[in-house]
Amino acid sequence: MGAMEFVTGALGTLLPKLGQLLQDEYNLQNGVKKNIEFVMRELDSMRAALRDVGEVPQEQLNNTVKIWARDVRELSYDMEDIVDTFLVRVQGSEPPSKRFIKKMTSIVGTAKTRHEIGQEIKGIKERVMVVAERRDRYKVDSVTPTKTWTDPRITALYTKAARLVGIDEPRDELISLLATEDGGISSAEQRIVSIVGFGGLGKTTLAKAVFDKIKLQFNCTGFVSVSRDPNFTKVLKDILYELDKKDYKDIHNTALGQQHLTDLVHEFLKNKRYLIVLDDIWDTEPWEIIRCALPDNGLKSQIITTTRIIDVAEHVGGCYKMKPLTHLNSKILFYGRIFGSESECPKQFSDVSENVLKKCGGVPLAIVTVSSLLANKSRNVNEWHDLCDSIGSGLANNLTCLLYLSIFPEDYDIKKYRLILRWIAEGFVHPPGDGRQSLYEIGQRYLIELLNRRLILPGGIHDDGMSPLSCRVHDIVLDLICSLSRDESFATIVYGDCKQITSSESKVRRLSIHNVSCPTMNMSKLRSLTINNSATINSMPPFSCYHLLCVLDLEGCNLYYLPSLEFVSKLFHLRFLSLYETRYAGDIPRDIGKLLFLQTFMFRGTDIKEVPLSIFGLSQLMCLTVGHRTRLPASGLRNLLALEVLRMNVDSAYNAEELGHLTQLRVLTACCAQKGQGRQMG
């Protein structure tokens, strides 16, 4: 995936919804269906074009292409609003038991709604055609990154060893690991070590340091970059050239195929003790292909690989997890590049220097990059603070789910289940074709992938010692994704005492407020709202005006004095509602059952006394967490057949019997009230 692949707007969630409209149950006219099919084809093509554009560095894109990409994203968001509104109106906001009374009215209303969606789709088709025409005119499909012969990390390889701070200890550890006999491996067998760590940690530099230290012990050596999307014939040619630059000086000009090249490498190495470094492997497939050319010839040959992905390292074997620099070594590197040493640093720069080091988190590439920028700046402490505040713009991360983490404050411990359920509510988690995994299980897989790629850090760990209970975002990554959120209108994050959002940010779809007052902005398109301070709520317009709201997360706000939640029952698009630890003491609206799309309702940590019976009409509810003081109705729980996560009190045998009907339940935390005592189950 490229540096901007995540910036595809709502296309990932929109296309399945458009496909849903083609189903017979919506009874759309053939002309409307044909328009939808046309729009789907064009949007799918545009999504592919956006991904291609995402592979091109920002500095190589002209403004017309950037504007086109922005307009495609805005179009996708507008379309998703239209489709979601249609689905809500057609499926209704009344539970089935009440629909019969309004049957004739509903028929008339639904026919009108279908006519309106037909007109909306027609208008969207016209907009799509305009954007498609501009795509051809701007020659978007011909945009490709300018190829460079040199890998951008090569410059790091040839830094003199004397300047490689903190490299000696991990280098010697790796050399020892390669030489140690364990696990039944004989002294003559091939040795493999895989260095794993996130980008910028110095994996390539470490591999080169080991390579340079031990290469004279071998008959032949090679240091080759594999990369994310490898050309295997080129990689094999690179290996041959590295092994013998004289005999294979013209190898890159030949038309030899992959199998022929594999045989050549294998034949060349079969009677030689060799050292090969395969740098930057992103998947197990390239390793399996290349290893066929590397014989285990009983001559104590050694292979070193580097990767960002823990699964790849464990598959290759000999996993060596690279650590960030210690704070001491970070300071030596940072101050050495700017002042010569820490003792030469002027006193007024000490605090800002420590802040920079904290943000860099021991990542050598980050420290070198930032210190180089600061070394070229004037000795103005305010400029240093400005640069410190902007750290993060030089990195590249993709995944929509990662970008979503920008809504949480710095150093925030993000609970796993809360994050996954929000991803689901936003439509980022797509159901599998085989139906073998639930949305929550797929969301867990997404989270593990981000952890394995070292893009986020684990927080608390489950009793099993393996499963993460929470995660957090490294400061430097958080700065980056917050910046990208602003640039791409993905999310708006408000800090400090901001009173107004600029016009360029006025179309807010996801809003996270970390201060005490709500800024003035256009929020008619708002789909996700996160508030971290109860005082903010008092300065906001009525929540009921956010008619497109899908996610409302008030976790941790003090709502003890909030008089009512009646506005909630008017948010028909709502999929996620969290009142967790809010101390809210009022009632849940009697007509909460109108929210037919609600998937998550969390109100543990509130003073809510009772739950209305209508809650059992929420057929899509996946997660329900109930406060310790809250009583559920004695019967009806069995109707929540989609429930996967349930935290509740069991205050009667009948309640407990109801649980037996919840066949999708994976997580159950039940407190049994018995003679004033409580105990945890499940």
How far does CA 477 lie from the centroid of its chain?
11
Range picked from 93-102, 405-414, 475-484 for highest mean pLDDT? 405-414
Q: What is the pLDDT of residue 477?
A: 72
d(CA 274, CA 276): 6
Split at pLDDT 50, 70, 90, the class of 291 is very high
Checking if the pLDDT of 152 tops 60, the result is no
CATH number at residue 444: 1.10.10
Closest CA to 635 of 619, 611, 665: 611
Taking the whole predicted model, whether its pTM rises above 0.75 is answered as no
* Beta-sheet pairing, 220-227 with 667-672: unpaired
C-alpha dihedral, 494 to 499 to 502 to 505, nearest 10°:
30
Q: Is the pLDDT of residue 214 over 60?
A: yes
Same domain, yes or no, for 265 and 181? yes
Residue given tokens 């209305």 in the structure block: 612
DSSP-derived secondary structure letter, 541: P
For residue 169, what are its two tokens?
A: 């200890």
Domain assignment of residue 680, yes or no? no
pLDDT of residue 566: 87
Q: Would 415 be classed as within a structural domain?
A: yes
**Angle at Cα 150 formed by Cα 146 and Cα 156, nearest 5°?**
130
The answer to whether the CB of 298 falls within 8 A of the CB of 189 is: yes
Domain of 544, CATH number, reads 3.80.10.10
Does residue 240 share a domain with residue 293? yes
The pLDDT, as a whole number, for residue 25 is 67
For residue 56, what pLDDT is reported? 64
Residue 149 pLDDT grade (very low, low, confident, very high; cuts 50, 70, 90) = very low
Which range, 106-115, 176-185, 406-415, 534-543, is most confident?
Answer: 406-415
Indicate whether 574 pLDDT > 90.
Answer: yes
Q: Which two tokens stand for residue 537?
A: 């709520």
* pLDDT attached to residue 376: 60
Q: Mean pLDDT lowest for which of 225-229, 308-312, 569-573?
A: 225-229
Which of these three, 296, 321, 346, is where a domain ends? Answer: 321
Q: Best-predicted range by mean pLDDT among 270-284, 370-384, 545-559? A: 270-284
Distance, CA of 324 to CA of 410 (rounded, Å): 20
Domain check: are 317 and 331 in the same one? Answer: no
pLDDT, position 465:
59
HEC string of 175-217 equals HHHHHCCCCCCCCCCCEEEEEECCCCCCHHHHHHHHHHHHHHH
d(CA 643, CA 618): 10
Confidence of residue 208 (pLDDT cuts 50, 70, 90): very high
pLDDT reported for residue 237 = 94
Question: Structural domain of residue 280, as residue ranges?
Answer: 167-321
The verdict on 373 and 406 lying in the same domain is no
For 444-470, write each residue's pLDDT tens digit.
888 877 776 666 888 877 766 567 889
Average pLDDT over residues 613-642: 89
Query: Is residue 632 in a domain?
Result: yes
Lowest mean pLDDT among 94-103, 354-363, 550-559: 94-103
- Regarding whether 360 and 247 lie in a shared domain, the answer is no
Which residues on adjacent β-strands are paired with residue 645? 623, 667
Give yes or no for residue 576 having a pLDDT over 60.
yes
Count of H-run helices and E-run strands, the chain: 22, 18
pLDDT at 520 over 90: no
Under DSSP, the state recorded for 24 is G
What tokens does 233 get? Answer: 């014939």
364-375 helix and 350-360 helix, angle to the nearest 10 degrees: 150
> For 570-600, b where at least 16 C-beta lie within 10 A, e where not — what string?
bbbbbbbbbbbbbbbebbbbebbbbbbbbbb
What type of residue is 470? Answer: S
Q: Is 269 exposed, middle or buried (0-12, 13-18, 19+ CB in 10 A)?
A: buried
Q: Summarize the confidence of residues 104-115 as an average pLDDT.
A: 56
Residue 5: inside a domain: no
Read off the amino acid at residue 111: A
> Mean pLDDT across the stretch 598-611?
91
Quote the CA–CA distance of 16 and 14 in Å, as a whole number: 6
> What confidence category does residue 653 fall into, taking pLDDT thresholds of 50, 70 and 90?
low
Percentage of the chain lying above the pLDDT 90 cut: 23
Q: How far apart are CA 219 and CA 46, in angstroms?
A: 52
The larger pLDDT score, comparing residue 51 to residue 352, is at 352
- Do 36 and 134 belong together in one domain? yes
Whether the per-residue pLDDT at 346 is higher than 90: the answer is no
* Residue 83 confidence class, pLDDT cut points 50, 70, 90: confident
**List of residues 6+ apart from 470 with CB closer than 8 A:** 413, 414, 415, 416, 458, 459, 460
Share of the chain above pLDDT 70, in %: 76
The answer on 407 and 262 residing in a single domain is no
118 in the same domain as 203: no
What is the widest separation between alpha-carbon atoms in the chain?
88
Query: Using CA atoms, how far apart are residues 465 and 394, in angstroms rounded to an integer?
Result: 35
680: which strand partners? 671
State the CB neighbour count (10 A cutoff) for residue 554.
24
Residue 122 in contact with residue 36, Cβ under 8 Å? Answer: no
Give every CB contact of residue 458 below 8 A, 6+ residues apart in sequence.
451, 468, 470, 471
Q: Are residues 20 and 112 in the same domain?
A: yes
pLDDT of residue 306: 94
pLDDT for 599 beyond 80: yes
Q: Does the pLDDT value for residue 521 go beyond 80?
A: no
Q: What is the mean pLDDT of residues 540-565?
A: 84
What are 36-72's pLDDT values in tens digits?
Answer: 888 888 888 888 787 777 666 555 667 787 788 878 8
> Given a cut of 50, is residue 603 above it in pLDDT?
yes
Between CA 30 and CA 333 the distance in angstroms is: 67
Average pLDDT of the chain to the nearest whole number: 79
pLDDT at residue 242, as a whole number: 94
DSSP code at position 548: T
Which one has a higher pLDDT value, 577 or 504? Answer: 577
Given a cut of 60, is residue 396 above it in pLDDT?
no
pLDDT tens digits along 492-502: 887 655 544 44
pLDDT of residue 320: 93
If one compares 664 and 390, the residue with the highest pLDDT of the two is 664
For residue 192, pLDDT over 50 is answered with yes
User: Which phi and psi (to 5°) does residue 305 adopt?
Assistant: -120, 155
How many domains are contained in the chain? 5
- 625, 614, 483, 626: which is closest to 96 by C-alpha? 614
In a domain, 665, yes or no: no
Q: Are residues 371 and 456 in the same domain?
A: no
Query: Same domain for 439 and 510?
Result: no
Q: In this predicted structure, what is the pLDDT of residue 476?
A: 63
pLDDT confidence of residue 54: 66
- Assess contact for 681 and 661: CB atoms under 8 A: no
- The pLDDT-based confidence of 117 (bands split at 50, 70, 90) is confident
> CA angle 366-369-385, nearest 5°?
85
CB 637 within 8 A of CB 662: yes
Confidence of residue 151 (pLDDT cuts 50, 70, 90): very low
Residue 678 within any structural domain of the chain: no
- Contact present, 398 and 3 (Cβ < 8 Å): yes
What angle do helix axes 232-243 and 284-291 make, rounded to 10 degrees? 50
Encode pLDDT of 230-269 as tens digits.
888 989 999 999 999 999 989 988 889 999 999 999 999 9
pLDDT of 491 higher than 60: yes
Residue 99 scores a pLDDT above 50:
no
Note whether 494 and 634 are same-domain residues.
yes
3-state secondary structure of 409: coil
User: Residue 334's CB: how many other CB atoms inside 10 A?
Assistant: 25
Asked if the structure places residue 160 within a domain, the reply is no
Q: Which pLDDT score, from 0 to 100, does residue 453 have?
A: 61
Q: What is the pLDDT of residue 167?
A: 84
Per-residue model confidence (pLDDT) at position 8 = 61
Is 70 exceeded by the pLDDT of residue 366?
Answer: yes
The pLDDT of residue 416: 92
pLDDT tens digits, one per residue of 309-328: 888 999 998 899 988 888 99
Fill in the DSSP letter of residue 173: H
* Whole-angstrom distance, CA of residue 179 vs CA of residue 201: 24
Give domain status of residue 552, yes or no: yes
Task: Give the DSSP letter string of 281-316.
Answer: E-SHHHHHHHHTTS---SS--EEEEEES-HHHHHHH
Please give the pLDDT value at position 100.
38
- The SS3 of residue 256 is coil
- Long-range contacts from 559-568, C-beta under 8 angstroms, 24+ separation: 559/534, 559/583, 559/584, 559/606, 560/584, 560/585, 560/607, 562/537, 562/586, 565/589, 567/542, 567/543, 568/543, 568/592, 568/595
Q: In whole angstroms, what is the distance from residue 225 CA to residue 233 CA? A: 13
What pLDDT is recorded for position 21? 80
